[in-house]
Structure 1
Amino acid sequence: MPTPYSLAHLTALTHNPAQMVDLAARTGYSYAGLRLLPVAPGALAYPLMDNPALLAETLARMEDTGVGIFDLELIRLNADFNAQDYLAFFEVGERLGARAVLIAGDDREFSRLVENYARLCEAMQPYGLSADLEFMPWTAVPDLTTALRVVGQADQVNGGILIDALHFDRSDSRVEDIAKIPTQWLHYAQICDGPAQRPTTDEGLIYAARNARLLPGEGAIDLRRIWQSLPAELPISIEIPNEQRVAQVGVEAWARSALVAAKATLGPA
């Protein structure tokens, strides 16, 4: 079975969900990811929970193209988190046939973070969604070791860890530790590349992650070694925002180049 590839919404965030489905279809992807909740207050997102017309259009484009929705973004676990606030989000995810939800950990009180993550998993489980915790260096879950602790202590059947190649490299997580992740916690991974010189501030890390990623094979991240440590045929989300280069070549050419580069980088040596 070939590896499924999904076009992450951040790669083409100016496209609404229906347009994302069409873009994924035109550029060779089997799936698309959708950002239904903003990464920060006021940031761009497409809350299909509040837009029945756009939800219907997205479902129609999925039917017409055969492109599925793989993951939804994103839920942030902070001190005030209440899983019941997201029931409409889960319902839309179920209607879209989504498999996974990207989770970010912002709560510095570890025991509360674990408890809220467990409650989130329980709330999502009836909708067929996994809760994939993404570790990012500037968050309360800064590395793979911390993510393993959170998901392990929560001990939920739909818990998961999301490895994003850029965050993995910038967090100084070790490839050897990927073997510590139970296979059932791995639902997909995100690929991109980045330069050898890493940003030295949180602001720099965030800017690079959201605006200036490189195509696989263009940077210094050891993508082959990371993917050799992951299960074969693990679905791959291609998340490569780069404002400058998208402006130069256009989003469709960029999305197509990203898929070609990912397959070339991870293909036979």
Structure 2
Amino acid sequence: MPKFSLAALTVLELAPPELVEVAAACGYDHVGIRLLAAVPGGLAYPLMDDQAALKETLARLDASGITVADLEVVAFRPETEVATFAAFFETGARLGAKNILVAGYDPDLDRFTDRFAKFCEAAAPHGLTADLEFMPWTSVPDLRTANRIVAQVGQPNAGVLVDALHFDRSKSLLGELVRIPADRLHYWQLCDGPAKRPATSEEMMHAARFERMFPGEGGIDLVSLARTMPVDIPISIEAPTVTLAKTLNAEARARRALEAAKKVLAAAWP
């Protein structure tokens, strides 16, 4: 039976306590919490700097039975220093989180690989994995590059994060995915999008951050992707739909996303 997580980006207007409440009401098993902004000035909920909000989030997790699957977003840029994440790790451990989403925005991949290895080492004592997400517009543009870096760092808690949209848009291959050791895949992200790929990186970024589709409602071959992924890792439903959010509240969107995901997985794993 798949375990589903409500990704922060799907309902980013919700602070973590409300995110937990909505996840519980809709029947999710986990949530992902965005502690750090994906881009400078972006929306995030830094619980490490807000003890009252952290306490409230912990109380709602305890009351609901929802657990925290992943923390977002550690975006490595040339100036990023691993030492700055001490409070982030400690807060993640208090939340009982399992995974950290890492993105690479450092064009010097040797430097990034070295820092990613140190990040993995720093995260490990807190029970956290570090999962490298490939995105076509970043310095880690595809599955092959992400897997090479994770293999190179050689840390047991290092993982590759597969997002269905980025997998398709990066033209990564199922044949590459099937060769990745299962212990490098800690969770994955599910959504959909039009079969036609965006023409530019700007269009790709906009769609990824604001206008995805619920699973099964677009043109990506999600069934084949699901059949290639391990069946025993959490599935994070990450489907921001900003236009739809103008007429449909967070709970309704989260519920619709989960129902759609279950249909896809039922087709993949009958």
For Structure 1 versus Structure 2, the TM-score category normalised by the shorter chain is over 0.9
Task: Give the distance between the partners of 2:138 and 2:243, measured in 1 at CA.
Answer: 26
Counterpart residue identity of residue 161, structure 1: V
CA distance in 2, matches of 1:231, 1:266: 12
Q: Hey, what's the Cα distance between the residues in 1 that align with 2:109 and 2:33?
A: 29
Three-state SS of the structure 2 residue aligned to 1:180 is coil
Q: What corresponds to 1:62 in structure 2?
A: 61
Separation in 2, partners of 1:135, 1:64? 35
Specify the alignment match of 1:207 in structure 2.
206
Which segments of structure 1 move beyond 3 Å, counting only runs of 4 or more?
Answer: none
TM-score w.r.t. length of structure 1: 0.98
Indicate whether 1:31 and 2:11 are aligned: no
Residue deviations 1:40-70, cap 9 Å, x none? 1111000001000000000000111111111
CA drift of 1:81 comes to 2.0
Asked if 1:122 is matched to 2:109, the reply is no
- The equivalent residue for 1:189 is 188
In structure 1, the partner of 2:107 is 108
1:253 is aligned to: 252
1:9 paired with 2:8, answer yes
Greater displacement, 245-254 / 205-214: 245-254
Greater alpha carbon shift after TM alignment, 246-255 vs 117-126? 246-255
Q: Deviations over 1:6-42 (max 9, x none)?
A: 0000000010011110010011101111000001111
Deviations 1:192-236 (A, max 9, x none): 000012111111111100111011111111001011111112210
Counterpart CA distance in 2 for 1:89 and 1:220 is 37
C-alpha distance in 2 between matches for 1:248 and 1:198? 26
The separation in 1 between residues aligned to 2:195 and 2:96, in whole angstroms, is 38
Alignment of 1:41-60 (within 5 A): 41-60=40-59
Q: 1:77 aligned to 2:76?
A: yes
Q: Deviations over 1:101-134 (max 9, x none)?
A: 0000111112111101100000000000000000
Farther-moved stretch of structure 1 (41-50 vs 242-251): 242-251
In the aligned structure 1, how far is the partner of 2:211 from the partner of 2:14? 18
SS of 1:249's equivalent? coil
Structure 1 CA distance for aligned equivalents of residues 85 and 252 of structure 2: 35
Map of 1:131 onto structure 2 = 130
**Aligned AA (1:152):** A
AA paired with 2:134? Answer: F
Paired with 1:265 and 1:31, the residues of 2 have a C-alpha distance of: 19
Structure 2 gaps of 5+ residues are none
Structure 1 stretches of 5 or more lacking a match?
Answer: none
Looking at structure 2, the residues matched to 153 and 41 of structure 1 have their Cα atoms a distance apart, in angstroms, of: 29
Q: Secondary structure at the match of 1:124?
A: helix
Report the equivalent of 2:173: 174
Residues of 1 paired with 2:45 and 2:253: CA distance? 22
Aligned to 1:95: 94
Amino acid of the structure 2 residue aligned with 1:78? R
Q: Secondary structure at the match of 2:247?
A: helix
* Paired position in structure 2 for 1:225: 224
User: 1:212 & 1:178 partners in 2: Cα distance?
Assistant: 26
**Which residue of the partner structure matches residue 140 of structure 1?**
139
**Helix, strand or coil for the counterpart of 1:63?**
helix
Task: Name whichever of 257-266 and 76-85 sits farther off.
Answer: 76-85
Q: 1:246 deviation in Å?
A: 2.0
CA deviations 1:147-196 (Å, max 9, x no partner) are 01110111101000000000000000001111121111111000000001
For 1:25, the aligned partner's letter is A
For 1:249 and 1:21, locate their aligned partners in 2 and report how far apart those are by CA, in whole Å. 18
* Structure-1 separation of matches of 2:253 and 2:75: 29
How far 1:135 sits from its partner (Å)? 0.1
Give how far 1:82 is off.
1.4
Q: Distance in 2 between matches of 1:239 and 1:98?
A: 17
**2:86 corresponds to which letter in structure 1?**
L
User: When the two structures are aligned, how many residues end up with a matched partner?
Assistant: 268
1:87 and 1:173 mapped to 2: Cα distance? Answer: 34
